[in-house]
């Protein structure tokens, strides 16, 4: 974790993106581009402290804890050479970065004099195109992460990630259970992942699938072990969450279920990944308590067919 007393001898580049795991992972191509463009700078990422394990896999960045935009960044004014706004374009994120008094700002419009914000754009392309506007080479498909150094007892497991941050992305438990049962019958070792808050949901899914509680890893893994599990997975089945973005970063076969968010903005790069959704049904309320109709429109047979296409079943 980065110290707040930044060195005066080495120029510092600060990136603000105080968001969740998936948000970090779609910004990886742009973070790689910054690392290449500024090899002499100290690179600092302002984001939630719990992301530190995965940030270390990006390479080259230190973490400055920033949980949202309500508190000033713990950096003395004038300590930052270049400030980069990967959080958004709003007045809150802009003000936070202006307060550090950076010599140069990289941002959309306004403060950075950068390009206009385009609403309908893939997130990987949004941040890499911002850098290209400033003359920096950036490839939106440069999504790879370093391999986690932690060891895990499971290799080639079928990872069924049952959780999501909001109810709008929660595919029904009975459907996850049917998929887990089919994977188990096909000879895969099935494990259920999620956060500590999602452990009870994962246990219910496992029991419905006829699998033991020991198959439930939700709430028992640090983020580093979760990343290692996905990096070695035989297949990942997940809603549009951090698990799906990790599968993309490690090119692991995955089936990704989209609800309120359009895959055109958040979907995986080309690879062994199949996106399932019903766009004509999409309500688009990310913060809704109930699953989005576009997600509910995806049935068990749709996922089984996708798994067959991937050669998993």
Contact between 61 and 43 under an 8 Å Cβ cutoff? The reply is yes
Average pLDDT over residues 260-274: 97
Q: Note the pLDDT of residue 82.
A: 97
pLDDT category at 112 given cuts 50, 70, 90 is: low
Each residue of 300-309: pLDDT tens digit?
999 999 999 9
In angstroms, the CA 52 to CA 54 distance is 6
In angstroms, the CA 18 to CA 5 distance is 20
Cβ neighbors of 27 (< 8 A, separation 6 or more) are 15, 17, 86, 123, 124, 127
* Whole-number average pLDDT of the chain: 95
Q: Note the pLDDT of residue 3.
A: 47
Token duo for residue 66: 């920033």
Q: What angle do CA 75, 81, 83 make, to 5 degrees?
A: 70
Contact between 92 and 72 under an 8 Å Cβ cutoff? The reply is no
Each residue of 39-74: pLDDT tens digit?
999 999 999 999 999 999 999 999 999 989 999 999
Q: What percent of the chain shows pLDDT beyond 90?
A: 91
Q: Note the pLDDT of residue 151.
A: 86
Q: Note the pLDDT of residue 134.
A: 96
Each residue of 230-248: pLDDT tens digit?
999 999 999 999 999 999 9
Element (H or E) spanning 84, and its range?
strand 82-85
Each residue of 218-234: pLDDT tens digit?
999 999 999 999 999 99
pLDDT category at 111 given cuts 50, 70, 90 is: low
Distances, alpha carbon 226 to alpha carbons 65, 229, 298, in Å: 21, 5, 26
pLDDT of 185 strictly over 80: yes
pLDDT of 30 strictly over 50: yes
CATH number for the domain formed by residue range(s) 12-133: 3.40.50.2000
Q: Note the pLDDT of residue 25.
A: 98
Domain assignments of the chain as residue spans, ordered by start: 12-133, 158-309
Distances, alpha carbon 214 to alpha carbons 179, 192, 233, in Å: 18, 9, 17
Tell me if domain 12-133 and domain 158-309 are identical in fold. yes
Does the domain at 158-309 match CATH 3.40.1280.10? Answer given as no
Average pLDDT over residues 120-135: 97
């Amino acid at each position: 974790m980065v110290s707040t007393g930044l060195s005066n001898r080495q120029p510092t580049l600060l990136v603000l993106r105080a968001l969740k795991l998936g948000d970090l992972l779609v910004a990886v191509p742009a973070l790689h581009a910054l690392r290449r463009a500024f090899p002499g700078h100290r690179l600092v990422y302002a984001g939630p402290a719990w992301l530190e394990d995965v940030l270390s896999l990006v390479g080259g960045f230190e973490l400055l804890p920033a949980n949202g935009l309500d508190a000033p960044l713990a950096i003395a004014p004038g300590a930052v050479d270049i400030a980069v706004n990967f959080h958004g374009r709003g007045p809150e994120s802009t003000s936070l970065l202006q307060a550090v008094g950076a010599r140069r700002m990289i941002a959309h419009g306004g403060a950075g004099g950068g390009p206009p914000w385009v609403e309908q754009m893939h997130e990987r392309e949004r941040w890499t195109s911002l850098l290209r506007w400033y003359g920096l080479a950036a490839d939106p498909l440069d999504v790879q992460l370093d391999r986690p150094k932690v060891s895990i007892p499971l290799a080639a497991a079928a990872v069924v990630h049952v959780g999501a941050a909001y109810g709008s992305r929660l595919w029904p438990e009975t459907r996850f259970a049917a998929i887990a049962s089919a994977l188990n019958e096909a000879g895969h070792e099935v494990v259920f992942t999620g956060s500590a808050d999602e452990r009870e949901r994962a246990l219910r899914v496992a029991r419905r699938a006829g699998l033991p509680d020991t198959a439930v890893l939700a709430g028992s893994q640090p983020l580093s072990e979760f990343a290692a599990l996905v990096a070695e997975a035989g297949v990942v089945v997940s809603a549009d969450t951090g698990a799906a973005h990790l599968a993309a970063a490690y090119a692991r076969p995955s089936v990704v279920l989209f609800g309120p968010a359009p895959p055109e903005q958040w979907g995986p790069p080309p690879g062994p990944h199949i996106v399932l959704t019903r766009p004509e049904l999409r309500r688009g309320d990310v913060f809704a308590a109930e699953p989005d109709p576009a997600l509910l429109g995806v049935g068990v047979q749709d996922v089984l067919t996708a798994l067959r296409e991937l050669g998993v079943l």
